[in-house]
């Protein structure tokens, strides 16, 4: 194995969507990731499963590793031939000690690259609705450490130049030193009425912003109980927040939302949650697998021309069915004159990807909706094919049989419990960092509940909003002991999110 390389990657201030494309690519290719406390944990989901993860987080008074140890780890892993990513909150070269790490590597002849990130002073201010420069208010901006030892006799900060000479002052890691910062700015000519904003956990659901002036910001900070990490913005641009506070106005702002869909299927839902201002936390509780025995499905595919109706009750069923047809080299024209039913719009879209258009779709996207829709049809002697999950409800085939149809139900795929990080889930729930749980099927609920200690269920879900895609899923949740707060009237992801937005708007 040849000599490796170290990538010093800026993760941005917290919102994982703010990482650069190059930074994301480095993460996806990394053998080793050494990551900080302020880098979003969601970024680790992009790392290969076989990559080594090393936590090197630092909090005031609590360091996982001293900086010298971090330097040594980076060098040793690279010398062993690994591609190493040093994932740092914000930008590596802006109060991130990336310069020290780069210098250490350079002195030892170890290749490295720097991948800049959105620095907290700019990104956090923007998410609070504060542009650090503005033609009418600020032509200069300074990024300043707020972590200087207040006991130092001689400050390295030139307060006499900063206070009167720079329009916008942005202090990093300065909450502990807020009294000193205020004192120095007032001593060196900044007016007491100068606007100030304190933004904690900026760009995340926990973001809080407190505004005031140099005259009263200390008292307001005490009343708000703010603590590290905080970005301090001083200057006239803070006034613009009243008009420009876009992030905090979004309907799901402040909500971290669990998405319990199968791995690889939660992406579009996560994007929609982000667009609404929430933070999606993808935790698949189910996994999709091929059937244990392809025999029944293969037999049905071999005589497709015999069926009058083919009913798809999920997009997973569509993909599994047509995927198997492709593997068996069976032409799609073998469906002949069979009519196709899709249970809902997402399933219909999955069918249409194969160049087919559905004949029917119920108004209510559940099995009972299909039965109601078919009441006007004479089904006596008609052959129905239902390729679906091995654990699908029996309501549909039973009702069709009662209407005189001949029903062939075959398992096209299996729904299994996913191997998620149970300890991480429990930690998030115990620390009340999950605000909303969304369930899109009964199986997602069942497998979620299996992960929780039964005796802790009430306390873990206290204060957590539970949202279900429809009445069937909601009924399963209630049977398992969950309190259901939101049930979508339209049984789709969009309908679920609409119902969620309405719930918080009304609440």
Residues designated as active site: 36, 58, 173
Euclidean distance between CA atoms 239 and 196, whole angstroms: 9
Q: Name the packing angle between helices 178-187 and 217-224 (round to 10°).
A: 170
Separation between Cα atoms, residue 488 and residue 95, nearest integer Å: 46
Q: Is the separation of the CB atoms in 183 and 224 below 8 Å?
A: no
* Angle value at C-alpha 225, between 223 and 231, nearest 5 degrees: 110
Collect all residues with Cβ–Cβ distance below 8 Å to 440 and sequence separation of at least 6.
260, 261, 269, 469, 473, 493, 496
Q: How far apart are CA 151 and CA 402, in angstroms?
A: 84
Cα separation, 54 vs 427, in Å, equals: 19
Residue 83's DSSP bridge partners are: 5
- Nearest to residue 313, comparing CAs of 382, 439, 397? 397
User: Do the beta carbons of residue 171 and residue 232 sit within 8 Å?
Assistant: yes
């Amino acid at each position: 194995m040849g000599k490796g390389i170290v990538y010093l990657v800026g993760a941005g201030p917290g919102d994982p969507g703010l990482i650069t494309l190059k930074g994301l690519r480095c993460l996806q290719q990394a053998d080793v990731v050494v990551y900080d406390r302020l880098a979003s944990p969601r970024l680790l989901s992009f790392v290969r499963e076989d990559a080594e993860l090393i936590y090197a987080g630092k909090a005031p008074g609590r360091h996982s590793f001293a900086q010298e140890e971090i330097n040594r780890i980076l060098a040793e892993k690279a010398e062993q031939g690994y591609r190493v990513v040093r994932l740092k909150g914000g930008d590596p070269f802006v109060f991130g000690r990336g310069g020290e790490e780069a210098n250490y590597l350079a002195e030892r002849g170890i290749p490295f690259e720097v991948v800049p990130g959105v620095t907290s002073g700019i990104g956090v201010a923007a998410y609070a609705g504060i542009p650090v420069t503005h033609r009418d208010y600020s032509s200069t901006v300074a990024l300043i450490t707020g972590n200087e030892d207040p006991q130092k006799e001689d400050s390295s900060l030139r307060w006499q130049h900063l206070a009167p000479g720079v329009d916008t002052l942005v202090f990093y890691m300065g909450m502990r030193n807020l009294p000193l910062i205020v004192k120095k700015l007032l001593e060196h000519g900044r007016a007491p009425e100068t606007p100030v904003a304190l933004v904690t956990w900026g760009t995340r659901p926990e973001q809080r912003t407190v505004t005031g002036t140099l005259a009263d910001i200390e008292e307001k900070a005490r009343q708000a109980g703010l603590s590290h990490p905080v970005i301090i913005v001083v200057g006239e641009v803070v006034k613009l927040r009243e008009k420009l506070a876009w992030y905090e106005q979004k309907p799901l702002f402040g909500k971290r939302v669990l998405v319990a869909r199968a791995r690889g299927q939660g992406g579009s839902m996560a994007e929609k949650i982000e667009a609404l201002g929430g933070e999606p936390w993808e935790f698949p509780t189910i996994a999709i697998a091929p059937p244990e025995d392809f025999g029944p499905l293969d037999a049905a595919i071999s005589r497709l021309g015999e069926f009058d109706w083919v009913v798809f009750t999920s997009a997973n069923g569509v993909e599994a069915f047509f995927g198997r047809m492709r593997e068996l080299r069976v032409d799609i024209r073998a469906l002949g004159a069979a009519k196709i039913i899709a249970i809902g719009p997402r399933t219909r879209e999955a069918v249409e990807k194969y160049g087919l258009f559905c004949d029917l779709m119920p108004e209510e996207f559940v099995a009972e909706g299909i039965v109601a829709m078919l009441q006007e049809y004479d089904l006596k002697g008609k052959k129905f094919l239902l390729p679906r999950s091995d654990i699908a409800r029996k309501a549909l085939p039973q009702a069709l049989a009662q209407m005189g149809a001949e029903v062939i139900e075959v398992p096209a795929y299996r729904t299994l419990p996913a191997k998620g990080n149970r300890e991480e889930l429990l930690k998030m729930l115990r620390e009340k960092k999950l605000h909303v749980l969304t369930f899109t099927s009964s199986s997602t609920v069942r497998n979620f509940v299996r992960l929780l200690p039964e005796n802790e269920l009430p306390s873990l879900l206290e204060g957590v909003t539970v949202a279900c895609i429809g009445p069937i899923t909601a009924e399963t949740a209630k049977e398992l002991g969950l309190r259901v707060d939101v049930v979508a009237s339209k049984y789709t992801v969009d309908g679920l999110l609409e119902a969620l937005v309405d719930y918080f708007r009304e609440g």
